[in-house]
Structure 1
Amino acid sequence: MKITKNYDLLRNALHERRQKLASLINSPAILWSGSSIARNYPALKLPFRASSHFLYFAGLPLENAAIRLESGKLELFIDDAPPSSTLWHGEMPKRAEIAELIGADAAFPMVDLKARGTGAATIALQDNLTALQQSQILDRPLAPSQSPAGIDLELAKAIISLRLTQDAASLAQLREAAAVTVEAHKAGMAATPKAEIEAGIRAAMESVIISHNMTCAYPSIVTVQGEVLHSEHYHNPLQTGDLLLADVGAETSMGWAADVTRTWPVSGKFSPTQRAIYDLVLAAHDACIEGISPGVEYRDIHLLAARIMAEGLVDLGILRGDVDDLVEMDAHALFFVHGIGHLIGLDVHDMEDLGDLAGYEAGRVRSSRFGLGFLRLNRVLRSGMLVSIEPGFYQVPAILNNPEIRAKYKDLVKWDLLEKFADVRGIRIEDDILVSEGGREVLTGELPTKALEIEELVAVNT
């Protein structure tokens, strides 16, 4: 609970965020932190994570708390811990101490919140218990967070406009998360030669994050099944010839995230086919990062990656045809199946609880195209945005063996040649990019991406 680092920076940032919100909305707003969820019996809880919207204005991961924001002022609502909790949880800070710490203008017990709920806007939380409490205190039904209405929609739009770009306090946190994430990935590479199953590498990576008093920003993906985009299994054995895809990111104690992916050979050496695809993905990665600057359409960055992937696959003989035609027909998406990236901030996919309201400019909707439908961000880039760049190549059986897809692309794909690349199940390379007035800054740039450097990091421990 105690803040000892960047204390003044945080206090000032919280004050400025509240003032900016006051200039954007006329109604009061109440934001809840949420509550713990029982794992399998009431006393055994899942790890608590406060609502990101609450964290943005309150700064601390308080549980069972709410804040009321109006005219730039903040009222904190939280109960003091009962004396009986001291035995189990130790001494907890009092309400007045917490209020002082976050710069609250007033502080009250939770029972007083009901009287202050009239006419307040909010954002519905994901857990049902808190969502029910929100509805009862505000005395009205709430729409899900991804489809807010009325004053809740206005609040969501205002918060999005603030959280789209990062201030100095959030950047300080994001840099810490990035630095620890880089260290974790290096530890994973170093642990590979002695690991027997994926879990051994996961353990090495997550131990670095835990040792810095951080948590994982999302369930770690550490897998030799790189074609499974969000695999959360770690039991597969590591065998010579396998590629290991690790998508692992740290989250600071204040909730700010990093998101990084690297792919490396378990043996410490890419095969010729693996190296060919890896270098293609890296070419897309590097070109997309180079293309980032204020005023650029993020959708165009995605299409740049699509074109580079299509051109490279033509050069390798996997695809055939004109590159522009292939991209227009979404042939590249047979292998590059997702969008080029997303916003990063307090959430690893920042503000996706608000659906496309956050990720898409007003008036824009998701495409129905195979090659564009998974694009999470469709906005003009502006200075202060933090985005991921994560091109990839995947051989997903459910896609490549689909009869309709086979028929549609039968003349564009050399299906028999794919057998030559059977040892490339999935490759992704991902970094966190800050859009700046000078163009861009790679917050995770200390982690190598070039194939030879990756091989050295793995092989040095053999």
Structure 2
Amino acid sequence: MLTPTDQSCLHQRRHQLGQQFEGQALLWSGVAPSRNFAANQFPFRASSHFLYLAGLPLQNAVIGLEAGQLTLFWDEPHPDTALWHGPSLSRAEIADQIGAETHLPLSAVSSWASHAATLPVPSSATHQQQIEWLGRPVPPIQGSQDQESNRDHHLANALIQLRLQQDEFALAQLRQAAEITVAAHLRGMRSTLNHTSEAAIRAEIESVMMAHQCPTAYASIVTVHGEVLHNDAYPHALAPGDLLLVDAGAETPLGWAADVTRTWPVSGQFSATQRDLYDLVLAAHDACIAAIQPGVEFRDLHLLAAQTIASGLVDIGILKGQPEALVERDAHALFFPHGIGHLLGLDVHDMEDLGDLAGYAPGRQRCDRRGLRYLRLDRPLRPQMLVTIEPGFYQIPALLQNPDLRQQYGDCVNWDRLAQFEDVRGIRIEDDVLVTPEGCQVLTSALPTQAPEVEAYVQGSTA
């Protein structure tokens, strides 16, 4: 249920949208896809743009917005629904909850169809419904400038400006997601010595989220193969000497996400080589967070992480040369190929359904450089923006065994020295960081990052 404060925030969002976007807008919530037959469905997740303005995850609903006023289009549940799913609120009660001035059956959407802007939804069935009801194509929103005259493009830009900075309703949800995620990671650390498989640690972590009625915000990564950046399989045993990389985040029942990564030794103690590289990644993590304040370019944070990692790898002896020149050549990207982070909010990569339109400031586009091509965010930071900071070090065979890359960087990589670090497949440290007027606040700071404290949690020597 939404509180009066929540309802006030929703009203303010719609009022602000009305000031930035003229005309009618329709946003679909979507439907739960079927797994293998119609009645056996995957869990429902409403479209994030719908959730941002309606607040509740209503299935098969549409909201209409005009001049800050909200119309709910939704059909009353069939009487038989109560037999299988229990009683539900009426359309009038739902409309009162979300603060809709008007509520109508779903079929009444047709009265808005000829003039309304919209945004495409991930559900293919609902996307087809959008096309049929609006009588026009609803293509994906991209960052290309040739779409500036498109009304859907204008709606996307207006929503981006609202969603870039989190209001009090959002922050309350995001803090809740962060708190539950921290507790889940701590459970994973503390239970590691009692288990022998990735899957068992995943179960411990996700059980904490489930106990708070939170699904995962994305497929959890719980793996001893941290070099596989989006590893979503859990078949491996835990062996002495392994590092376990855990990237897992809770999503609140209203859809707001956390995104956190920690890496810890399954035996409870880093080896000397693991500790050297762990501390290097942590140095990049800490340097970026210390630099966050309004006006700082996120791209500069990425380059700061790259510079820190390159300098550390030179000190360790894995890279050879001047760190500045190595970063200019993108040599660091052999070991740190992804971006330093991304927006976080209702989506774990917030608003990434809009392509680079949300992540890249107007007039900017992705760079082809190896060290910059995967940067998800290229904007100056503003107060109340929430971002992730997640540097890493990985030994990815597809990169390190690529003959062209070995030739290109043969003069600056000490391959013999690198071989001494074979017990490090992947390390990543990630936190959720809120930009404040004075600097920043780490919402997930209760989860340890310093190696001795991480070891203590795994060993069970902390309270």
Q: Does the pair score TM above 0.5?
A: yes
Aligned counterpart in structure 2 of residue 116 of structure 1, from 102, 109, 112: 112
Do 1:33 and 1:55's aligned partners in 2 also have CA atoms closer than 8 Å? yes
CA distance in 1, matches of 2:143, 2:353: 9
The share of aligned pairs that are identical, in percent, is: 57
Do 1:283 and 1:308's aligned partners in 2 also have CA atoms closer than 8 Å? yes
2:34 — aligned with what?
Answer: 38
SS at match of 2:72: strand
Are positions 1:348 and 2:344 aligned together? no
Cα offset for 1:417?
1.3
2:7 — aligned with what?
Answer: 11
CA distance in 1, matches of 2:36, 2:399: 37
Do 1:191 and 1:200's aligned partners in 2 also have CA atoms closer than 8 Å? no
1:432 — aligned with what?
Answer: 432
After superposition, where does 1:118-137 map in structure 2 within 5 Å? 118-137=114-133
CA distance in 2, matches of 1:112, 1:388: 41
After superposition, where does 1:77-92 map in structure 2 within 5 Å? 77-92=73-88
Query: Is 140-149 or 257-266 further displaced after alignment?
Result: 140-149
2:298 — aligned with what?
Answer: 298
CA distance in 1, matches of 2:302, 2:361: 16
> CA RMSD for the aligned pairs?
1.0
Are positions 1:104 and 2:78 aligned together? no
1:382 — aligned with what?
Answer: 382
Are positions 1:28 and 2:24 aligned together? yes
CA distance in 2, matches of 1:190, 1:362: 45
Counterpart code for 1:307: Q
Q: Deviations over 1:46-93 (max 9, x none)?
A: 111000000000000000000000011000001111011111100011
CA distance in 2, matches of 1:36, 1:168: 29
Cα offset for 1:116?
1.9
2:52 — aligned with what?
Answer: 56
Cα offset for 1:305?
0.2
Are positions 1:401 and 2:397 aligned together? no
1:95 — aligned with what?
Answer: 91
Do 2:281 and 2:393's aligned partners in 1 also have CA atoms closer than 8 Å? yes
- Tell me the TM-score normalized by structure 2: 0.98
After superposition, where does 1:326-341 map in structure 2 within 5 Å? 326-341=326-341
Cα offset for 1:251?
0.4
- Tell me the TM-score normalized by structure 1: 0.98
Counterpart code for 1:390: E
CA distance in 1, matches of 2:132, 2:232: 37
1:194 — aligned with what?
Answer: 194
Do 2:141 and 2:153's aligned partners in 1 also have CA atoms closer than 8 Å? no
SS at match of 1:13: helix
Are positions 1:74 and 2:65 aligned together? no
Name the CA shift for 1:147/1:83 in 2 (closer, same or farther; >3 Å).
Answer: farther
CA distance in 1, matches of 2:366, 2:307: 20
The alignment covers a number of residue pairs equal to 458
Structure 1 unaligned runs (5+)? none
SS at match of 1:215: coil
Q: Deviations over 1:309-343 (max 9, x none)?
A: 00000000000001110000000000001000000
CA distance in 2, matches of 1:49, 1:91: 20
SS at match of 1:186: helix
Aligned counterpart in structure 2 of residue 141 of structure 1, from 137, 141, 144: 137
Query: Is 174-183 or 130-139 further displaced after alignment?
Result: 130-139
SS at match of 2:20: coil
Counterpart code for 1:400: L
Counterpart code for 1:256: W
CA distance in 2, matches of 1:109, 1:159: 25
Cα offset for 1:118?
2.0
Q: Deviations over 1:177-222 (max 9, x none)?
A: 0000000000000110011110110000000001001110000000
Do 1:188 and 1:202's aligned partners in 2 also have CA atoms closer than 8 Å? yes
Cα offset for 1:146?
3.6
Cα offset for 1:138?
1.3
SS at match of 1:251: coil
SS at match of 1:326: helix
SS at match of 1:384: coil
2:413 — aligned with what?
Answer: 413
